[in-house]
Amino acid sequence: MIKKIGVFTSGGDAPGMNACIRAVVRCAASHKKEVTGILHGFDGMIKGTMIKLFPNDVSNIIHRGGTIIKTARSKEFMTHVGMRKAYENLKRHHIDGLVAIGGEGTFKGCSEFSQKYDFPFIGIPGTIDNDLCGTDYTLGFDTAINTTLEAIDKIKDTAASHDRLFFVEVMGRDTGYIALWTGIASGADEILLPETKTDIPALIKLLEQRQKQGKSTIVIVAEGDEAGGALKTADEVRKKLPELDTRVTILGHIQRGGSPTCFDRIMATRLGVAAVELLISGESGKMVGMINNQLAITPLESACKARSPLDKELLRFIKMMTS
């Protein structure tokens, strides 16, 4: 029987994590269950840094970015000794099940831990990368793309004023979701993704054409683009087109922060409630997500087996919309 639930955030922070923590705590309280917040993810589990969370503790956090219980990555947790320490601390704090808010690495760690110690947990996809199977959107993605889009729109203004070429690098080491969505939504002139081959000669040709037409140019680059990211690509362009006024903007961690959108707050609430009620009902090793605006329950093995592929229709739009 689940009497006390542990909740933690792990990996990169994502807008909406606080809203999700709030939902977990308040849903648990409505079911007469206690909640313990595990500070700094797996690292806090190993060190035993945990705090009780009551409904009043999560007041006025639904609009805040980041995570009030902090996050971290832990190599020690992936060792036998680290997992044993984590298990002993969970039992010492009388925690019966876990709600893990994070991405692929978080879920793989939880899955291995659960198999080793038969410890129940439910995963909530909290990552701006939107790269997990079993959900149309991950928590934080909507906020991240809107933050990114706002920045790109402002860069377009100054690019047009000076007839400049801007390479704008966005997050996406292994997947191009943020680059694809914001590139199309901002009317970018080219989008470079990890999933597609970057044709530098073709890019040079496009830039030459736009230079002759006297137009400014915006190229959106995912940080994991196979050509090496915005800085390396811009250097290649400068060698071929030194006369172009070429600038690079790396948006970086601005994409992780900020107040979550309404969509992310509602999604966080739905997923947090679902995770608690699944644990109470005896479920484990599952991820709760959203497919076609309905709750979807996916085994962790399926959610982590492969990265969620980019929308083929949106990929088709790239050449059409940037021609």
Among 256, 253, 258, CA closest to 63: 258
Binning the chain into helix, strand and coil, the percentages to the nearest 5 are 45, 20, 35
Is the Cβ–Cβ distance between 105 and 151 less than 8 Å? Answer: no
Question: Phi and psi at residue 220, in whole multiples of 5°?
Answer: -90, 130
Read off the tokens for 32: 């007469």
Strand partners, 169: 221, 250
Alpha-carbon distance 39 to 56, whole Å? 18
* AA identity, residue 308: S
163 among known catalytic residues: no
User: Which member of 129, 131, 142, 264 is catalytic?
Assistant: 129
- Give the strand order in the sheet containing 190-192: 190-192, 217-222, 165-170, 246-250
Read off the tokens for 174: 């292994």
Read off the tokens for 131: 């790269």
Is the Cβ–Cβ distance between 60 and 47 less than 8 Å? Answer: no
Count other C-beta atoms under 10 Å from residue 305's C-beta: 11
Quick one: residue 232, left, alpha or beta (phi over 0 = left, psi -120 to 50 = alpha)? alpha
Show which residues are catalytic. Answer: 129
